[in-house]
Amino acid sequence: MNLLYTFFLMAPAQNGSDKPDSIVPTILMFGAIILVMYFFMIRPQRKQQKEMANFRNSLKKGDKVVTVGGIYGEIVEVNEKTALIKVDGDVKLRVDKQGLVKDYSEAQK
């Protein structure tokens, strides 16, 4: 505590008087920076994470999806953590639901 007091409150005065400058503007500036970061970075990311979670929880048989690796396929079976997708012909892949990023069913209509 004593070190913080020395660092912040005993800084040399900028206004020519013997009284040190106030720390309130600095605290307000840090608060404003944190608020801006929240609204422009953290909040949109959380919204996107919720949308992806809703997408992955609503997967059903017949949905056409794209994996993180860019593999297009149609869902054949959905389990709690995995999905079986039909890629081409009789080729089927079991992938983790976290690897499914997009539904392209509506794009082909």
Note down pLDDT in tens along the chain; length 109 residues: 555 555 555 555 555 565 667 888 889 999 999 999 999 999 999 999 999 999 999 999 999 999 999 999 999 999 999 999 999 989 999 999 999 998 887 665 4
Residue type for 12, please?
A: P
Q: Please tell me whether the overall predicted TM-score, pTM, comes out greater than 0.75 for this model.
A: no
Instruction: Identify the H or E element spanning 48.
Output: helix 43-57
Under a CB-based contact definition with an 8 Å cutoff, are residues 65 and 98 in contact? no
The per-type count for the chain, helices as H runs and strands as E runs, is 3, 5
Give CA–CA dist 56/99, Å, rounded.
9
